[in-house]
Structure 1
Amino acid sequence: MSALARLRAAGYPVTHEVGRGMEGVVAALGDERVVKVWDRRPRVEVDRLRVFYDAVAAGLREVGAPLAVPGILDVDEVHGLVVTVHPLLRGRALALDGARPEPVVEVLEWLSRVEPDPGMAVLPVPDGEVAFDPAVPFGTSMADLVERRAPLLGDAVGPDVVARLAEALRGLAPVPPRLVHGDLGPVHVLLEDGRPTGLLDFGYVSTLGDPAFDAAVAACLQDMFGPGAAAATAAFDALSVTRLGHDPDVLVLHRAAYGLVTASCLAGHPGPHRDWCLDLVRVWERR
């Protein structure tokens, strides 16, 4: 039985499939809501994600940000799978209109204004790990994570590089923790009339931390594999320096940490994505 058939049998009047990803299927539930069937997530993890989204939505409202997030309105179980109901977010993905840095930078500006809330620090960073403690400097937490994840890469990153990367992260000046999306690519930003109105797919490295990490990752996600990838990253970094006040060397350092951690999540799946992640480490290493 298909996911939509299961939902209909359970009483959900779904009309059509909206999307399908690594974690499940999303279907339309009338004009204002969608319902998601999770392939693998246990109830406890989805409940934790609900706490996170509630805190994020409240924080964005408090600063007047015009950004909707896919908060969880209800949680159910159908045939042993977790099912969640969400508001339908309006807008068109930035990636479909051509990746432009300005809307993403605007999102980063809003995120950096959100006051921290304990609910924003409940998610593991990443899955299988522990949540970051916002009382611990973000650089220290990231250094610890790099050291835990590096062995999964075997000899792809030398122990001397791991040691120097962790040392550099621990040497960063502590900054007041702010809301970090952690994986803010153009596909995650929704636009209406050219302005950002919605954010998708929190959860990979979503926590309270250093806004420079978010900016660093967003820069390299503008164009991952195209011929203009390096130029797109450089252009985004330039905006991060002038509009957000970030140190360019810190951006490269954070990208290396993101690259190592993400490569470790792909350790059993060699290919272009893993190679791209490891290149982020090499760019930092060569500086």
Structure 2
Amino acid sequence: MTDTTHDTTARRVRHFVDAGYPDAGPVEAAVEGAVYRLGDGTVAKVWEHRQGSDLRRMQRFYADAAAHLPFDAPEILTVEDIDGVPMTVERELSGAPLARRIRTDDPEVLPEAVDCLVGVLRALAAAHEVAEVKELPVLDEERPLWEGHATFGSALADLVERRVSRCAGVFAVQVHDFYRKRATLIEKLRSLPRADEAVVHGDIFPETVLVDDELRPLALVDYGFLSTGGDPRFDAAVTAARFPAASERAPEITRRLTARFADEFGYAIDDLLLYRAAYAMATSDAFAPGGGDEHCAWCVSVLEDPAVAEVLRR
């Protein structure tokens, strides 16, 4: 933790203590910001890249999701402000992250763990009330992903085009034939037919799925990074790739999960690989301007995957 981060954390904890939460303390840094346990069954989440209006829309989406999903969604109790940064106070959800229950670097992943992921993906694919979530911006952008678009593929193509240019230099050096791959990906995304729209979480992996002792899903958390309404194949594509830990067996695990999801839902593997490439290009500099961090290196590995490269060669 840097000195600046430490000072910010200490200042925020003092804010919560002064506001009547004497047991407040930091929990973890989520993708969208820092989380603090307040000690009364609630947590505070400080959103670094969101406006209050976005969070109130997220509040309405969560309330709707809770009525349509078979597991819990976060519940935003209030939207507030701390040091000029928007903050939500949310009900603390039960369950432990799936990552604490299993080894994500083992190709022989427990069948119960894979069944858990299948159940989460199936539930999201069946959640078609997407009006609120389609109005959300993604990553650190200010406008909704869908603004000016009639299809998910077109919206995603524009996102890729905007974002990947920010670390094109890194990709040009590390990804074989990068510029042709980028052009092919954008063209293929734009030509995708309209799909049935469902809730897309955008970043499901073992830390965002809360489970019980039998690995049954109790809640899905950390919406907001790439949450929107769109093609449920996107979540399946990302989940299969984000599930395994960084190990030499990760490609094998990803291939197995991709095949399982394709078989379970009747998805074409080429479509999953296409969406995986889109995720890699769109998020490559999500955590470090210009790329160059561990996540960017992971995105390079996705684009260098022979199966992904083959899809972008056709």
User: TM-score normalized by structure 1?
Assistant: 0.88
* Aligned counterparts of 1:166 and 1:38: Cα–Cα separation in 2: 30
Which amino acid counterpart does residue 151 of structure 1 have in structure 2? S
Summarize the Cα distance change of 1:14–1:78 in structure 2 as closer, same or farther, 3 Å threshold: farther
**Correspondences of 1:30-179 after superposition (within 5 Å):** 30=40, 32-38=41-47, 41-60=50-69, 65=70, 67-98=71-102, 99=104, 100-128=113-141, 130-133=143-146, 136-155=150-169, 156-157=171-172, 158-179=178-199
Corresponding position of 2:110: none
Alpha-carbon distance in structure 2 between the residues aligned to 1:140 and 1:235: 29
- Describe how 1:238-257 pairs up with structure 2 within 5 A: 238-257=259-278
Inter-partner Cα distance in structure 1 for 2:130 and 2:243 = 29
Structure 1's 40 and 168: CA in aligned 2 closer, same or farther, altered over 3 A?
closer
Partners in 2 of 1:40 and 1:151 — Cα distance? Answer: 20
Structure-2 residue corresponding to 1:276: 298
Given residue 136 of structure 1, which amino acid in structure 2 is its aligned partner?
A
**Secondary structure of the residue that 2:80 maps to in structure 1?**
strand
Residue identity in the other structure for 1:278: V
Check the 8 A contact 1:123/1:207 in 2, yes or no.
Answer: yes
Q: 2:206 matched to 1:186?
A: yes
* Distance in 1, Cα, partners of 2:25 & 2:39: 8
Q: Structure 1 residues 88, 160: CA separation in 2 closer, same or farther (over 3 Å shift)? A: same
The structure-2 alpha-carbon separation of the partners of 1:202 and 1:163, relative to structure 1 and needing over 3 Å to count, comes to: same
Gaps of 5+ in 2: 1-9, 105-112, 173-177
Using the TM superposition, name which of 257-266 and 122-131 deviates more. 122-131
Question: Deviation per CA, 1:67-118, whole angstroms, max 9, x where unpaired?
Answer: 1112211122345443322111100110011143221111000111112231
The answer for the alignment partner of 1:24 in structure 2 is 34
Aligned residues: 281
Instruction: Give 1:252 shift.
Output: 0.6
Per-residue deviation, 1:245? 1.2
Q: Tell me, yes or no, if the aligned pair for 1:74 and 1:85 is still in contact at 8 Å.
A: yes
Q: Which amino acid aligns with 2:27?
A: V
User: Contact conserved, 1:52 with 1:122, CA < 8 A, in 2?
Assistant: no
**Cα RMSD over matched residues?**
2.3
- Fraction of identical pairs, as percent: 32
Quickly say closer, same or farther: Cα 1:168–1:41, change in 2 above 3 A.
closer
SS of 1:29's equivalent in the other structure is coil
Structure 2 CA distance for partners of 1:278 and 1:57, relative to 1, 3 Å: same
